[in-house]
Amino acid sequence: MLKGKKIVVVLPAYNAERTLKKTYDEIPMDIVDEVVLVDDCSKDNTVEVAKQIGIKHVIRHEKNTGYGGNQKTCYDKALSLGGDIVIMLHPDYQYTPLLIPAMASIIANNLYDVVLGSRILGKGALKGGMPMYKYIFNRFLTFSENVLLNQKLSEYHTGYRAFSKTILEKINYHANSDDFVFDNQMLSQIVYAGFEIAEVTCPTKYFKEASSINFRRSSTYGLGVLGVSFLHFFCKMGLMKSEIYKERK
């Protein structure tokens, strides 16, 4: 716990057997109370490795639900465990678990309800090996989102995020896509609801075993991000309505 708040780390996993132990070994268990791994019907031994290294809460989807579908299960389980602070960390070792205390501290001290580990603050992305086309996409999409959502975030596309229980209880994340655009929909919902978002500089690693999406999927994701941004803008202007901006019941 931190400041009396229970911390749950959730790991949305897909074919992560080669990097899971490295990731898990760096999680600071002196403050983390529970670790949840949700396996999205991997084709490797992710579930077996998770159990071998001692992860107590392991959930396996019998069919692949997608990245967003995986996160829905992660957050549902974290809330059922009584998590006050929920940190989503990819088990592909692209992001360092050593930032968990810093991210959790910001929420535990009631400074912000959301913290993102940003690869763009500083020079972490390119230094860590982010492909140039992804960096350019990231900058273009982030600029567009900042304009349409009236924000000043350094990026919206990081897979390293910390949320207070308040966020997960209020945001209607079950109305979101089961695909990769889920991440952007969730940030759009958070901004729409009036919450502020903090960022911390996060070093990142790009290597063969780290999960990544190809150019075609990246292009589909980019179009989805723009769609979410315009939807947010039009709903804020009162020109449209969307289920995703309704509070959870």
Residue 167 φ then ψ, to 5°? -60, -50
- Dihedral sign, Cα of residue 48, residue 53, residue 57, residue 63: negative
Q: From residue 21, how far is each of 31, 97, 154, 220 by CA, in Å?
A: 19, 12, 30, 31
The pLDDT profile of the chain, 249 residues, written as one tens digit per residue, is 999 999 999 999 999 999 999 999 999 999 999 999 999 999 999 999 999 999 999 999 999 999 999 999 999 999 999 999 999 999 999 999 999 999 999 999 999 999 999 999 877 677 777 778 788 889 999 999 999 999 999 999 999 999 999 999 999 999 999 999 999 999 999 999 999 999 999 988 776 665 566 667 778 899 999 999 999 999 999 999 999 999 887
Q: In the structure encoding, which two tokens stand for residue 239, read together?
A: 């020109």
Please give the single-letter amino acid code of residue 91: P
Please give the single-letter amino acid code of residue 67: Y
CATH superfamily of 7-239: Spore Coat Polysaccharide Biosynthesis Protein SpsA; Chain A (3.90.550.10)
- H-state helical runs in the chain: 20-25, 46-52, 67-80, 100-108, 124-127, 132-149, 165-170, 182-192, 215-236
End-to-end CA distance of the chain: 28
Cα distance between residue 191 and residue 112, in whole Å: 12
How high is the pLDDT of residue 57? 98
Q: Give yes or no for a contact between 93 and 23, defined as CB atoms under 8 angstroms apart.
A: yes
Q: What totals of helices (H) and strands (E) does the chain contain, helices first?
A: 9, 7
Q: Give yes or no for a contact between 17 and 43, defined as CB atoms under 8 angstroms apart.
A: no
So where are the chain's domains?
Answer: 7-239
Q: Quick one: 85 exposed, middle or buried, by C-beta within 10 A (0-12, 13-18, 19+)?
A: buried
Please give the single-letter amino acid code of residue 214: N
Cα distance between residue 35 and residue 67, in whole Å: 18
Q: In the structure encoding, which two tokens stand for residue 218, read together?
A: 């990246």
Please give the single-letter amino acid code of residue 243: E
